[in-house]
Amino acid sequence: MEDRFIKVLSACPLFVGMSMLQIDMALESASYRVVELPSHDVYALAGMPCRYADIIVKGTLISRMASISGKQVEVTRLKEGTLVAPAFIFATEKALPVSVETDGNVELLRMKPDELKALIDTDEQIRMNFIRILSNIDVFLTHKMKVLSLFTVREKVAYLLLELSKEQQSLEIHLQRSRQEIADSFGIQKFSLLRVLSDFEKEGALEINGKVITIIDRQKLIG
């Protein structure tokens, strides 16, 4: 396997705790292929079954879900090293709840589910990593439900900004979605989102410059 792929896979949660040599040796016994997808290509439509165990080794996938208004709302961006839709690979109901498309050129390391199962069965580290991936998904969804059902609009916006800051490892946040898409993803009105952002800026918690938001005072966000 090419070194550039091994380097990306070393950051994949499925191979945490394994050296590049161990990853290479584990995959020697697996049947896989590298699939190239062009920019803005459809990876899957909502309702389609999850047929493969795909790991992104180059590029980004964007998942979208239809909002109440019928608009396609960006749910998340899947980056290099991500195992795509792990909860659906071995599910009885394999239908994906989101549509997924490429953002730029994408390369996938593709295995059939049986090949991934063989890796899980034969390598204890991979087995524990896969269990951890599924557990983390459950924790994430539980927290997401709490955010959507119990948080006020102000708390939802603060949560979003703090999560983006953590993800980007910076107090200077670069928004990749429009304000309408962000509002739709939290089930709130766009004007409510804009009002809260304006309030935070007036209170000295934020500085807003187009799609760049800088956190000035974290305590004022969570206070």
pLDDT in tens, 122-154: 999 999 999 999 999 988 888 878 877 878 999
Question: Tell me, what's the pLDDT at 138?
Answer: 87
CATH architecture classification, 149-222: Orthogonal Bundle (1.10)
Take residue 97 and report the two structure tokens written for it.
């709840």
In the beta sheet, which residues pair with residue 44? 100
pTM of the model: 0.80
Q: Domain 3-137 belongs to what topology?
A: Jelly Rolls (2.60.120)
Mean pLDDT of 195-210: 95
Percent of the chain residues topping a pLDDT of 70? 98
CA distance 212 to 206: 10
Task: Confirm if 207 and 216 have CB atoms less than 8 A apart.
Answer: yes
26-30, 168-172, 180-184, 194-198: the lowest-pLDDT one: 180-184
In the chain, what are the domain boundaries? 3-137, 149-222
